[in-house]
Structure 1
Amino acid sequence: MSTPRFLNLPPGVSRVTVETPRGPFAALEAFPGSGVPERCPALLVPGLTGSKEDFLAVLQTLAASGRRVLAIDMRGQYESIGPDDVSAYTRAALGEDVAALLDVLGPDPVHLVGHSFGGLVCRETVLSGALPASLTLMSSGPSAATGQAAAKARALRDAIPELGLAQIWELALEPDYLGRGVQPEVLAFLKARTVGNSEKGLSCMAGELLTAPDRVDELTKHCADAGLRTLVLYGEDDDVWSPNTQAAMAERLNADRVVIPGAAHSPAWEAPETTAAALRTFWNETEHTLK
């Protein structure tokens, strides 16, 4: 689980609900200082145990470049409601949610960023036929998580039906955060986010992370045919998908690649200024080709 850099909303960032034909989604929304976006908007999708707050440290900077930026909770995450039907939490179903959000944020094409499991979801969005302005896979991989990351996802998936999220928080997560000296206001947020998740949804999404196939070759062909530019961005010390794995994925995708110094799996809060600068550069260069 990632920890946001801060919880107070920066100037120009607000909490909103985005209505779509597939239901409402809780979001953080940022506008440029002028209040008038002049560039393509952006949509940021979090990872498995994350939320829209994971992008708090970059929202203001990204919006200052002249665009509307939204970070969402996926269906069943934190403040976005989700059903008990497990079929609503497959990668494909979540990808359809993201496609609906892209439509609502139009008519301009939208830059799409997926972090970790969110990257696997955004891949489904694109392969389903949605065409964003660009696609960024942030700290994501070509297929299912392996190693220690897989072990954590498997433990979470298996523990939820037996214990429930409230007990998982009390027995495992809270003691760990307290041992790391997490501040009380951050601890309160992390508890609210943990117990706010749909238990069936989180369990199902953990399973989806463990079973994702390698679809990189499909995505490469699709992006080439559609003229969709892609970016693979990750921290130099990523411990979920290794930097070597993500570099190889970028090569297969013929994608741009940015390695964020001093960051691990969550570059948007571990190195927000460097990450925001990389995204702005990529988006601006892409928009030149769209004209």
Structure 2
Amino acid sequence: MSTPRFLTLPPGVRRTNVETPRGSFAALEALPGSGVPERRPALLVPGLTGSKEDFLAVLHSLAASGRRVLSIDMRGQYESAGPDDEAAYGRAALGEDVTALLEALGPDPAHLVGHSFGGLVCREAVLADRVRPASFTLMSSGPSAVTGKAATRAQSLRDAIPELGMPTIWEIALEPDYSSRGVPEEIIAFIKARTLGNSETGLVRMSDEILSAPDRIDELVKHCADTGLRVLVLYGENDDVWLPPAQAEMAERLGSSKVVIPSAAHSPAWDAPETTATALRDFWAQAERTGLG
């Protein structure tokens, strides 16, 4: 399928694959205009039903500050292959993938950003402490499993896939919903390709994982105290997955920096890309001036 116009790559951004001992991961790579990175790199990890394209609107701005920036598809997502083994899609296993990707970005420590479920996955990599990132951003993520309407949506997806399969779910539920909301055809074409490109085994297990994730914030607090790792909690003021008060409380427990993105919901990198990119650039620069980065 041809790339929808909506997903035309900005200057300095290209599609690539990152090879690691744990497999190959599809990625979008952004470089500064000079082509020569002068600051620490960054790795951006999407959520459960997301992909590397979720960060497309911020990649150019982030790289313009002198960085190599990679957004990836996790294993089994969209254009990254994944096995038909549900054990490969647990938080810890996916966290090992993130560790391998951080190693591949070396030798300098990379800034790590995890969006939504990707934040829980990245937290596993951070706490495993095999590779220390330059900083860690929890974007629209939470301290533990989703609850409320977000949990209901995850449960519905998990339960429907074995019975119906994603092609049928797309045809009878997702596509009509996007069409009724007036989503442009080229965007729907991309979302369809991404949806049907996902591993169904992966979606089922990751849905289980986002519904059962334990609270590991106290462990993260201790890790940060021991290592000096700087953490940012960033979310949209209208987030409807982990609600803003829950994310604010998480930031308070962590004693971390916090940025609330005005007029954004669960995907601030799309809803308010310039504000989000500015917040990340400022946080990364501060981490490099004053801490581990």
Q: With structure 2 as the length reference, what TM-score do the two structures score? A: 0.97
Query: Contact 1:5–1:56 (CA<8 Å) still a contact in 2?
Result: no
Q: CA–CA distance in 2 between the matches of 1:254 and 1:221?
A: 11
Amino acid in structure 2 at the alignment position of 1:240: V
Tell me how large the CA RMSD over aligned residues is: 1.1
1:180 aligns to what?
A: 181
Q: CA–CA distance in 2 between the matches of 1:94 and 1:11?
A: 30
Matched, 1:43 2:55: no
Query: Contact 1:99–1:125 (CA<8 Å) still a contact in 2?
Result: yes
1:84 aligns to what?
A: 84
1:125 aligns to what?
A: 125
Percent identity over the alignment? 75
2:7 is paired with a residue of what secondary structure? coil
Matched, 1:114 2:114: yes
1:138 aligns to what?
A: 139
1:225 aligns to what?
A: 226
Q: CA–CA distance in 2 between the matches of 1:155 and 1:120?
A: 20
Q: CA–CA distance in 1 between the matches of 2:98 and 2:35?
A: 25
Q: CA–CA distance in 2 between the matches of 1:226 and 1:20?
A: 26
Amino acid in structure 1 at the alignment position of 2:253: R
Matched, 1:170 2:171: yes
1:263 aligns to what?
A: 264
Q: CA–CA distance in 2 between the matches of 1:284 and 1:174?
A: 41
Amino acid in structure 2 at the alignment position of 1:281: D
1:239 is paired with a residue of what secondary structure? coil
Query: Contact 1:157–1:207 (CA<8 Å) still a contact in 2?
Result: yes
Query: Contact 2:5–2:186 (CA<8 Å) still a contact in 1?
Result: no
Deviations 1:32-57 (A, max 9, x none): 00000000000000000000000000
Q: Which runs of 5+ in 1 are unaligned?
A: none
1:6 is paired with a residue of what secondary structure? helix
Matched, 1:104 2:124: no
Deviations 1:121-141 (A, max 9, x none): 000000111310000000000
Q: CA–CA distance in 1 between the matches of 2:175 and 2:243?
A: 27
1:9 aligns to what?
A: 9
Matched, 1:27 2:14: no
1:14 is paired with a residue of what secondary structure? strand
TM-aligned CA deviation for residue 264 of structure 1: 0.6
Q: Provide the aligned length of Structure 1 versus Structure 2.
A: 288
TM-aligned CA deviation for residue 5 of structure 1: 10
TM-aligned CA deviation for residue 182 of structure 1: 1.1
TM-aligned CA deviation for residue 6 of structure 1: 3.3
Deviations 1:239-261 (A, max 9, x none): 01111100000011111000000
Q: CA–CA distance in 2 between the matches of 1:119 and 1:81?
A: 21
Q: With structure 1 as the length reference, what TM-score do the two structures score? A: 0.98
TM-aligned CA deviation for residue 144 of structure 1: 0.1
Query: Contact 2:236–2:261 (CA<8 Å) still a contact in 1?
Result: yes
1:236 aligns to what?
A: 237
Query: Contact 1:31–1:67 (CA<8 Å) still a contact in 2?
Result: yes
Q: CA–CA distance in 2 between the matches of 1:5 and 1:162?
A: 34
1:74 aligns to what?
A: 74
Query: Contact 1:5–1:269 (CA<8 Å) still a contact in 2?
Result: no
Q: Which runs of 5+ in 2 are unaligned?
A: none
Query: Contact 2:78–2:195 (CA<8 Å) still a contact in 1?
Result: yes
- After superposing on structure 2, the runs of 4+ consecutive aligned residues of structure 1 that deviate more than 4 Å are none
Q: CA–CA distance in 1 between the matches of 2:163 and 2:106?
A: 42
